[in-house]
Structure 1
Amino acid sequence: MKIILKVMVLIMLFFSNVINAKDIKINSLKELAKYAAESGNTITMKPGVYKLTDYLTKDITKARSIRKEYQYITFSGSNNVFNLDGVEIELDTEIRTWLKPPIHSDEVLVTGLHNTFIGLTIRCVGNGTSPGGTVLQVAGKSNVLRDITLHVAGSYPYGYGDLFGKGKQKETTVKHRKHSGLLVTGDETKLYGCKVLSRSFGHCFFIQQHPKNVYFENCYAEGEVRSTDEVLAETSGPAFDVNFKTWTQNRDGEYVVTPGYMKSLCEDGFRTYGTCENITFKNCTAKNTRGGFELRFNKAHVENCTTIGTERAYWIGDNTTMINCKGDANYGPLLFVEGSNVNVELMVDSAESDRKVHSLITVLGTDNKVVLKAADGKKRTQELPILVGYTPPMHGESMSPYSQAEVNKLHLINQTAMPVSIGEMASNCTIETNGKVIENKGQNNQILEK
């Protein structure tokens, strides 16, 4: 009887919300901010370009700074639908300079529940910088974002990626002011057809604070790349000022920018921090980002995803499943397996460049299965070794050396014709390969050459 009453109450609340919902037409950011704090409405905004500085003037922003009110717009209401198709918010990065926020202050914040956002574009303009903030954070539970596009800029220095460090690390040689794209911290967040086009040092999409059941479908992350040779040709600027000293050693043990490599100028396309329960990526693409899908220390489901021109494509941890994914090793390795109980099905694109790449994949851990296929049956001209029983390079940096690590009970099916190197700490593995085994220092490994 109690259960029936609860169900009836929920049904009544639902229909009450539907009946009381308002269809509201707006044409200003001031109105958008007003209804962002209310609940139970359908808000449709007139298409057009809206300058954030028309809403947050310099005087208003300075007053907000005094009140320690650092967000531009906060969507604290719940059960809303925001129809923002054709709406573009021009976000002048100079506003961050006026606000003087603490590090990691996000700019547009969603804290409400059960909201749907459709079609918004946010474009960063100007020469301001952020002390580590994010354009958009989704913190509330059960929010849905469809066809949201972020054009991100506003970091310092831009043009070097993580060559000189990433933030507070002691090894950092140039202090960064990062500006990232879209952060998810709320449970049950779902993103469909969203894009982050980054011209900033920071992540495109990333997940923090251990949210559950986060879902990405048809999402796209894009950065820019630049050769280390071009960096070394500079005769002034932050890299020149520190004599091109890097935070990670190269393969000769030196801490200096090394020619011959390609660097992404942003951070990762899709990134998780910590353990996030039930995270899914389906039909997503990362192009020219540092890491394509960096999902370390985390269980994830990755299906029909693609990487193009990344420094490192997929970096996965325990209990991750990859189905029908694809990527190239054009500028860096295709896969780092840093965990156990993974199941990988990965197509190797034959794209190549003149940049230095030192491996196709590295694998460590226990009870892993990795199937590598050649896209369209095409073999790469440049042979890249599959390293069994090896770690990723330090900080994932392509210029840095690899180390050996334990791998046990790996089942590797190599259909790429790429060579296989088996380290000293590899044991009880089954290697089926149509590429030659160039090194086998492990024990009790079964090699099946085809």
Structure 2
Amino acid sequence: MKYTKLCLSVFSLAILFSSATVVANQKENTSIQIVQKEFISVNTLTDFKKYIDKDDVYVKLAPGNYQIDEADNIRFIKVTGSNSHYDLTGARFMVDTKLFYSKELSKSDDGNSMYCAIEISGKNTVFEGLYIETYGDHSGRQSKNKMINIAGENIILKNVEVRTAGSNPWGYGYLYGLGGGDIRKMNGIRVGYPAKNVTLIGCKVHMRAMGHAIFLQGSENTLIQDCHVDGLLRTTDAILAETSGYGFDRDFYAKKPRHAHKKGYVEGTVIGLDGKILPGEIVSLSEDGIRLYPEYNGHPTINTTIKSCTVFQMRRGICVGLNSSGDKVIDCEVRDCVTTGYNVGNEDVVINSSANAKYGEAFGVPYTNAKNASVDITILDSRNGMANDMLAKINGTGHNIIIKTNNDDFIPESMAIKFSVWEGYGNYNPKATMHATDIKLVNNTNTKVLLYPKTKGLDIESRGKVTKVK
């Protein structure tokens, strides 16, 4: 882990000198001369593209609106230059969604058939300042559509803002949007193998489509810092009030859950046992805010730090629990997520972070095979929510958990902290036995703690009442 921190620190220092070249007089070893590297200013997208495959260039694109409605590859703009800095502050790229549907574009040679607007795959590259959005009514040819894909080494994506649109069907979230059939997504930012030492800093993703905002697949040593994600929520009452459209045409039967033993539940929303959408529930229209996949084609996702980030109104807020290597979440805030605020798993550490539980639990360690997670979380105002009475869900072994709040009134009396339960998100192994063992809990709230069967060896300090449930 020391190596990871060193990598990120050295590279962060490189940012400070990214517009300068440092030359030392090695013979005399007496002085350091700093030679300023001048940016090349360009005023058109055509001229900008002349430099995206060049090494050792510093390019500034003039502020303005730029339309992207032509491409020759499924990666519409491929930034392959190394040791380069691209400053797009004030520039707005407007990407025609028809490109995500085009059959005429050539494939990439990396074995991945995904379409994306911008791919950054060089080394030691800074790409900053861009605002990028989609327009048009095409939904794309696949669910792997992405706005930005990072697959390089020592890459910094800085102060980039993404607004996604162009998924099908829009307005129902995961009730119909888990892939397959005619489902098409539009994801935000991906960091994927062979990506190493990537930093996302000061980036924003506004999800107005089905898909993940920021997600990792097979990357190493990733830092996500000072980033923001937001999505939209919708009540099932609003869906059931429709008199036409995708849901109406299907008589408001949701798509079948991927896991048969989770019948009556789809990714944070309760549905009828017959599959019918129920009133009084709420859905996120997108997927996860920041999500880690455990691997990509056998390459594990390792050494991820998420720091000082905010996620609002997504399905899961920050989801590190699917990974098993242990990741860090520091000083983050999650609000109004529907499935869970923080999805925590094996060896994960959540430090000085906060969440509410208006529509789903503030955090969960749902996996029975998760060990030694550490969670320190402050509960935000969880009043006036709906369809949720679980503050936290805890399974697994050896965790150390602290739950607190700055105002006892923030947590409704109906809520509970639950151990050893199937309820809610996770637990995809139908043969698993729910258990919570050898866990330290400090509950500095008045919330009741419910211990279901197979809970044992707990060390509990709690202001709220602790009850064994048979």
Q: CA 1:379/1:436 → structure 2, altered by over 3 Å: closer, same or farther?
A: farther
CA offset at residue 175 of structure 1? 3.0
**Cα distance between partner residues in 1 of 2:170 and 2:374:** 37
Identity of matched residues, %: 27
Find out whether 1:220 has 2:228 as its counterpart.
yes
Q: Does 1:25 align with 2:54?
A: no
Deviation readout 1:34-55 (Å, 9 max, x if unpaired) = 21110101101111111113xx
Kept after mapping to 1: 8 A contact 2:149/2:189: yes
Query: Is this contact kept in 1: 2:91–2:131, CA < 8 A?
Result: yes
Q: CA deviation at 1:98?
A: 3.3
Amino acid across the alignment from 1:134: K
**Greater fraction helix:** 1
| Alpha-carbon distance between aligned partners in 2 of 1:228 and 1:438, rounded to the nearest angstrom | 33
- Structure 2 Cα separation of the partners of residues 15 and 39 of structure 1: 19
Aligned-partner SS, 1:278 = strand
User: Hey, what does 1:71 align to over in structure 2?
Assistant: 75
Unaligned runs of 5+ in 2: 1-20, 25-33, 108-112, 258-262, 265-269, 295-299
Change in CA separation of 1:100 and 1:328 when aligned onto 2, cut-off 3 Å: farther
Query: How far is 1:377 from its partner?
Result: 4.4
Q: What is the Cα deviation at residue 341 of structure 1?
A: 0.5
Q: 1:424 to 1:100 in 2, by over 3 A?
A: farther
Contact 1:363 1:391 in 2 (8 A): no
- Residue among 428, 449, 459 paired with 1:420: 449
Q: How far apart, CA to CA, are the structure 2 residues paired with 1:394 and 1:332?
A: 9
- 1:108 aligns with 118
1:3-43 CA-to-partner distances (Å, cap 9, x unmatched) read: xxxxxxxxxx9859x97966311111112222111010110
Match among 387, 394, 418 for residue 418 of structure 2: 387
The residue aligned with 1:230 is 238
Deviation larger for 189-198 or 385-394 = 385-394
Q: 2:182 aligns with which of 175, 181, 188?
A: 175
2:62 alignment counterpart: 46
Relative to its length, the structure with more strand (as a share) is 2
Change beyond 3 A, Cα 1:394–1:313: closer
Structure 2 SS opposite 1:107: strand
Equivalent pair of 2:53/2:81 in contact (CA under 8 Å):
yes
Change (3 A) 1:32 1:126: same
Cα distance, 1:153–1:387 mapped onto 2, change above 3 Å? same
TM-score by length of 2: 0.82
2:308 is the alignment partner of 1:283:
yes
Assess, with a 3 A threshold, how the Cα gap between structure 1 residues 154 and 379 changes in structure 2: closer, same or farther: closer
Aligned equivalents of 2:127 and 2:182: distance in 1?
35
Does 2:405 align with 1:374? yes
| SS state at 1:381 partner | coil
Aligned to 2:336: 309
Equivalent residue for 2:212?
203
- Mapping of residues 102-141 of structure 1, within 5 Å: 104-130=114-140, 131-132=142-143, 133-141=145-153
The one-letter code sitting in structure 1 at the alignment partner of 2:412 is T
RMSD: 2.3
1:231 counterpart SS class: helix
Deviations 1:217-247 (A, max 9, x none): 1100110000011111112211122222222
For residues 185 and 436 of structure 2, the distance between their equivalents in structure 1, rounded to whole angstroms, comes to: 36
Distance in 2, Cα, partners of 1:396 & 1:100:
42
Report the CA distance shift for 1:313/1:408 in structure 2 as closer, same or farther (over 3 A). Answer: same
1:433 and 2:449 aligned: no
Q: Does 1:321 align with 2:368?
A: no
1:341 aligns with one of 351, 372, 391: 372
TM-score by length of 1: 0.85
The answer to whether structure 1 residue 145 and structure 2 residue 157 are counterparts is yes
376-385 or 152-161, larger mean C-alpha shift? 376-385
Equivalent residues of 1:331, 1:353 under 8 A apart? no
Contact 1:137 1:182 in 2 (8 A): yes
Confirm whether residue 160 of structure 1 aligns to residue 172 of structure 2. yes
Count of aligned positions = 406
Pair 282,350 (structure 1): closer, same or farther in 2 beyond 3 Å: same
Would the alpha carbon gap of residues 188 and 147 (structure 1) be closer, same or farther in structure 2, given more than 3 Å must change?
Answer: same
1:175-233, CA deviations, whole angstroms, 9 ceiling, x for partnerless residues?
Answer: 3101100000111000111000010000000001x211100111001100000111111
Residues 121/160 of structure 1: CA separation in 2 closer, same or farther (3 Å cut): same
SS in 1 for 2:247: helix
**Alignment-mate amino acid for residue 305 of structure 2:** T
Letter in 1 for 2:135: V
Contact 1:21 1:40 in 2 (8 A): no
CA separation of 1:434 and 1:379: change in aligned 2, threshold 3 A: farther
1:37 aligns with 2:41: no
Q: What are the Cα deviations for residues 391-442 of structure 1, in whole angstroms up to 9, with x where unaligned?
A: 4535699xxx9x961111011111121111101111111121111124345x
SS at 2:237's partner residue? helix
